[in-house]
Amino acid sequence: MPQDDGDVIYCHSIPILKETFQRYSLVIAATFAKLLVNGLQSMGARIALYALQEVAEEMGKWEGQHGVKNGLLNEIDRLTNVLVMGANGWESLPVETAIQRGGIDEEDYEEAKQKIVFFILVSAMARKEVADSFMIILENDWGMLTTPLNVTAYGNSLRISTVTETSPVEENQLSVSALITSPVTDFPT
């Protein structure tokens, strides 16, 4: 996710655990179905969080200690890290810490979270071959990247941008809106 000052940050998230899916399965399924039935799959990465909220509110499952707002979305935040350039290379921070330190602002994280929620919906609900086509949409249309690497390994794989007299600037710039890992395979297919 390119920033105004030229820096780039990455959001890395992993799929929710099977237990989390089981707790929120009806809301997840209904949200995914709503996007598909309304032909919004290609726009899902832009509106997934809003659609999830709308469906959860309609089902009476948005508020409360175990509601989607305080349960599922907090779990998604817990499973998401923000990679920011630190003094010694890429540093992985929990979302809340990254926001507090100014590594990402709340508006940029909300944009990334739309994409992450869509990824969660796809990884939880779609069969592998269907999920693969959604991942192509996420990569091509929304600038996301899927990887089997965990956040530490991915952070270590990123180049540290430096400009030298023999290296054009374009080769040292990184840009990706959000980074996510491959879907888990233990969800029902």
Give me the residue spans of the domains in the chain: 10-181
Distance between CA atoms of residues 15 and 123, nearest Å: 7
- Output the CA angle 103-109-114, nearest 5 degrees: 160
The size of the chain, in residues, is 189
Q: Tell me the whole-structure pTM to 2 decimals.
A: 0.76
Specify the amino acid at residue 143: G
Burial class (CB in 10 A: 0-12, 13-18, 19+), 167: exposed
The two structure tokens encoding residue 188: 């029902």
Asked if residues 146 and 135 have their Cβ atoms less than 8 Å apart, the reply is: yes
What mean pLDDT, rounded, does the chain reach?
A: 78
Tell me the mean pLDDT in the region 93-100: 94
- Residue 150's pLDDT is 85
In the chain, what percentage of residues exceed pLDDT 70?
Answer: 73
Residues contacting 149, CB < 8 A, separation 6+: 157, 181
Q: What is the pLDDT of residues 37-70, one digit of tens each?
A: 876 666 667 789 999 999 999 999 999 999 999 9
The pLDDT-based confidence of 32 (bands split at 50, 70, 90) is very high
The C-alpha atoms of residue 56 and residue 103 are separated, in whole angstroms, by: 30
Higher pLDDT, 127 or 78: 78
Q: Backbone phi, then psi, for 19, in 5-degree steps?
A: -65, -40
